Structure 1
Amino acid sequence: MHKEIHTLILSPEDMGRIDRAAAASGLSSYGLMERAGQAVAAAALRRFPGARRFAVLCGPGNNGGDGYVAARALRAAGADVAVHALGDPAALKGDAATAHAAFAGPVAPLADYRAREGDVVVDALFGAGLARDVPDMVATVIEAVRGHVLPVLAVDLPSGIDGRTGQVRGAAFEAAATVTFMCRKPGHLLLPGRAMAGEVEVFDIGIPARLFAGHAGHMRINTPDAWRAAMPALTGAAHKYVRGHLAVFSGPATATGAARLSAMAGLRAGAGLVTVLSPAGALAANAAHLTSVMLKTVDNTDDLGVLLGDERLKTFVLGPGFGDASAARGYVERIAAAGRRLVLDADGISAFREDPKRLFALFSDGEPRLILTPHDGEFARLFPDLAGDPTLSKIERAQKAAARAHAVVILKGADTVIASPDGRALINENAPPWLATAGSGDVLAGIAGAHLTRGMPAFEAAAAAVWRHGEGGRMAGEGLTADDLINNLNGPDQIK
């Protein structure tokens, strides 16, 4: 499979257009279905060699057609196969009807399926195109399979998972594994779909890569291929100011740790010089813990204005443990007016909850130079309408927010989405669950700041930060603290 396609994420609508383009180009649509069904059968035999019976549940569309092909292949391999159909198989049309006819075996109604010990369920009821709640009969079967703790192999996506949003439509199978074709869909990567799809196999059924160019959108999986070329390489001529000067605003004396985590992460992630900007009352607390990070007093916008006179100070991180909403707004306005770059996190985001448009207007022109790093609650403070729209996927919320704010948005979570104002979006998948720990977000903000100050475009800077953050968590292992995470960041020029 072409490398670009391997990281591509397609909406169900885009995949449908590509399927139609493949058929229009002269490819046999039934040939594609045959390869898909054979791949499902091969996965079933490989993954479940001890199965006493394969219960193949076939739906009324092309996903059901894949199921009939798989059932025929399983039976030819000598497996015990029971096929149950949703709806009347005689009503099938097109390739699905051809697949049913080629199966030529008994097909019982779905309502007659009785789960029994030793069954492996091959779920070919609905694919990624499902956009409505499953029928009651399907929900009943899903519950019976769950009650008997039977393994499920899903075809394309577990039935009941919305392929566009990853949400459960009434009820859904929890699959041990899923076989999908050509590319993953948002439902494979967005929660809860990601958790319910199990291990996902992507099988190349033979659609040419050229057909994806005109029909695919701008969604990808976040891998180093998406941003490695934008990361500056270190050379013998580099010095600390070439690598960039990053400044991180500290909170008051009782809340300085978050800023120090961001600062140390920025230094470890590749910034040449990092300074903590501290209120006078917090200087002693910060000075007691800082060695390789510099320290400056900033108590008001006039103090900040003096620092902004140094053109080498390129990038700021504001928000971790900051606390003072009024001061945050004043500092952001000065940074924006000076044309500098900013990572706005945590309290910095919340500072604009009463007037988000005020923030967006500050960074509305030129190349994006603002990175927002909200979790769902912070996102709702800036974008309440998007957060409250149940029809939008997490990807769509992030894309719309990025366009509105003219900023790169890192919408955090176990399924973090990075979105650019131009519509590009990446979904991250390398983050382990133990990254959900105190200070983890502060570290992410510092990494993103380091990338910005080294000159990376905002989208690539954010995407690289999210990936390195996840990789650092994986290397640190379960039970990590934020300090462990910093100590396990790969050097920026050691990414393979």
Structure 2
Amino acid sequence: MPHSDQILTAAQMREAERLLIDAGSSVEALMRRAGEGAAQWVWRMAGGRAVTVLCGPGNNGGDGYVIAETIRRRGGPVTVVAAAEPATAACRDARARYGGAVVDAEAAVHGEVLVDCLFGSGLSRPLSARDAALLGRLAAAHPHRIAIDLPSGVQTDSGMLLSPDLPQYDLTLALGAWKFAHFLMPACAHSRRLGLVPIGLGTVPDAAQAIARPTLRAPAADSHKYTRGFLAVVGGAMPGAAVLAAMAAQGSGAGYVKLFADSKRNVPADLVVDEGPLADVLGDDRNTAVLVGPGLGRDGTARERLAIALAEAVPVVADADALVLLGPRALAARAAPLVVTPHEGELVALERAFGLDGAGTRPDRALALATAAGAIVVAKGPDTVVAAPDGRLACAARGSSWLSTAGTGDVLAGVIASRVATGVEPFAATCEAVWLHAEAARLCGPAFTAGQLAEQVPAALAACL
């Protein structure tokens, strides 16, 4: 059965296509399926305006010829620019089936929509000077741009740019399955929108997943505040961060959020604060999850509070300062689930603490840390990756760049902890939270504060019911 959320490496994609061909399809048939599907998107964006398709010599170029022929048959104005003669049998077949004119790379071409079919997935070398100049010239001559499978000049599995000064695209259409470059920086920043064109691939075992809108349920009719999840939030030296996380948690599903703090000053009236001994707060057998780290501090008191939190036999979400204090010794006796939420600097610190060299792609690094720490890792940033010790991996679509403001990480930690507290399996709960966080940012619009972001979490959750 096709799986629309799987993310495949270049090697996995080749194997998935091979299985389709072994089952009776052909390269040419898959190319027509992909090209005709992509053409539907191009047709809608063009709206009858002139389309230019840049075709390379490989199978991505073949996709381009199919797109051009589909538009031509519909009566749309289309011009094909051939960067080179077809070099594969499937590309030659697609060009032979194209009934329109083909111009060479030196032709002066202008239009409204450029379709980049120069190179797709699997590229491992920079664009030649000639190809880079051609792509740049055509991009400048077209106000709207669509990349087919991947923008030309992008490394499929890492998201790295193989060539500098690549164009920006209004839309990138993944053919058959998502690739890591659709979600990883810096490549993902070159596409404003993403679309998927199915070609009938089956589910690939152990494939990474794209984080999609979760399906959530309202509380059962007989629910009460304790059955919906009881979350304890550990405060510290900077109480505002923990309050912010607790506010976000209140709107994310948990029925009861309790903040451990030294004072109730400047705390919302509807947030329960416990000023008693932390061991008593966390020893409450109604707790279903603990959040520790936002505003915790890094002194001896902070270390003690982290140790008490990690000693509890319920899931713990560790964020911010807790990540700086975390190491193998602190987790030696821990058996319950742990979620850690590092940004890049904290990820590097955790890699050092757990003896990792930080090599590989961002997913590689997240998986290595998840394995070493026995924790679910949320490597957060513009290209957020979630990894589990059992090898599960998920990537989030690039969210609003307005999230790059103080306190939004505390909000994410609160949402994760709340979803975990409701009893959802921790990896799934974490992926739900990442989506809710991004959706709340979208609902905020531009230039929001972390507090405004937390206020939008309930509306994001409502979109999933």
**Pairwise same-fold verdict (TM > 0.5):** yes
In the TM superposition, residue 370 of structure 1 has moved relative to its aligned partner by 0.9
Separation in structure 2 between the aligned mates of residue 331 and residue 435 of structure 1, nearest angstrom: 29
Give yes or no for contact 2:236–2:297 (8 Å, CA) kept in 1: yes
**Aligned equivalent of 2:254:** 271
Separation in structure 2 between the aligned mates of residue 458 and residue 348 of structure 1, nearest angstrom: 19
What amino acid is aligned across from residue 275 of structure 1 in structure 2? K
Give yes or no for contact 2:234–2:261 (8 Å, CA) kept in 1: yes
Query: For residues 450-465 of structure 1, what are the structure 2 equivalents within 5 Å?
Result: 450-465=418-433
Residues 311 and 175 of structure 1, relative CA distance in 2, 3 Å threshold: same
Query: For residues 257-406 of structure 1, what are the structure 2 equivalents within 5 Å?
Result: 257-279=240-262, 283=263, 286-297=264-275, 303-352=277-326, 356-363=327-334, 365=335, 369-384=337-352, 388-389=358-359, 391-392=360-361, 394-406=362-374
Deviation larger for 406-415 or 331-340? 331-340
Task: Identify which of 1, 6, 19 aligns with 1:8.
Answer: 6
**Aligned equivalent of 2:186:** 192
Separation in structure 1 between the aligned mates of residue 309 and residue 70 of structure 2, nearest angstrom: 64
Give yes or no for contact 1:160–1:173 (8 Å, CA) kept in 2: no
Task: Identify which of 17, 20, 42 aligns with 2:18.
Answer: 20
Query: SS where residue 157 of structure 2 aligns?
Result: coil
Separation in structure 1 between the aligned mates of residue 173 and residue 433 of structure 2, nearest angstrom: 30
Separation in structure 2 between the aligned mates of residue 327 and residue 338 of structure 1, nearest angstrom: 17
Query: SS where residue 178 of structure 2 aligns?
Result: coil
What is the aligned-residue RMSD (CA, Å)? 2.9
Q: Where does the alignment leave 5 or more consecutive residues of structure 1 unmatched?
A: none
In the TM superposition, residue 485 of structure 1 has moved relative to its aligned partner by 2.4
Give yes or no for contact 1:69–1:99 (8 Å, CA) kept in 2: yes
**Aligned equivalent of 2:129:** 136
Task: Identify which of 404, 407, 410 aligns with 1:436.
Answer: 404
Matched, 1:183 2:202: no
Residues 70 and 146 of structure 1, relative CA distance in 2, 3 Å threshold: closer
Give yes or no for contact 1:218–1:423 (8 Å, CA) kept in 2: no
**Aligned equivalent of 1:415:** 383
Task: Identify which of 77, 90, 110 aligns with 1:95.
Answer: 90
Separation in structure 2 between the aligned mates of residue 451 and residue 119 of structure 1, nearest angstrom: 45
**Aligned equivalent of 1:468:** 436
Deviation larger for 160-169 or 469-478? 469-478
Separation in structure 1 between the aligned mates of residue 34 and residue 98 of structure 2, nearest angstrom: 15
In the TM superposition, residue 27 of structure 1 has moved relative to its aligned partner by 1.3
Separation in structure 1 between the aligned mates of residue 17 and residue 441 of structure 2, nearest angstrom: 38
Aligned length: 460
Query: For residues 99-178 of structure 1, what are the structure 2 equivalents within 5 Å?
Result: 99-103=94-98, 110=105, 112-114=106-108, 116-118=109-111, 120-148=113-141, 150-171=143-164, 172-178=166-172
**Aligned equivalent of 1:67:** 64
Query: SS where residue 3 of structure 2 aligns?
Result: helix
**Aligned equivalent of 1:495:** 464
Residues 278 and 9 of structure 1, relative CA distance in 2, 3 Å threshold: same
What amino acid is aligned across from residue 249 of structure 1 in structure 2? V
Residues 126 and 459 of structure 1, relative CA distance in 2, 3 Å threshold: same
More helix by share: 1
What amino acid is aligned across from residue 61 of structure 1 in structure 2? G
Identity %: 33
What amino acid is aligned across from residue 226 of structure 2 in structure 1? Y
Residues 479 and 203 of structure 1, relative CA distance in 2, 3 Å threshold: same
Query: SS where residue 279 of structure 2 aligns?
Result: helix
Q: Where does the alignment leave 5 or more consecutive residues of structure 2 unmatched?
A: none
Deviation larger for 474-483 or 24-33? 474-483
Residues 388 and 109 of structure 1, relative CA distance in 2, 3 Å threshold: farther
In the TM superposition, residue 345 of structure 1 has moved relative to its aligned partner by 0.8
Give yes or no for contact 2:139–2:145 (8 Å, CA) kept in 1: no
**Aligned equivalent of 1:202:** 196
Separation in structure 2 between the aligned mates of residue 74 and residue 41 of structure 1, nearest angstrom: 7
Separation in structure 2 between the aligned mates of residue 468 and residue 221 of structure 1, nearest angstrom: 10
Matched, 1:243 2:228: yes
Separation in structure 2 between the aligned mates of residue 469 and residue 80 of structure 1, nearest angstrom: 41
TM-score (norm 1): 0.83
Give yes or no for contact 1:121–1:152 (8 Å, CA) kept in 2: yes
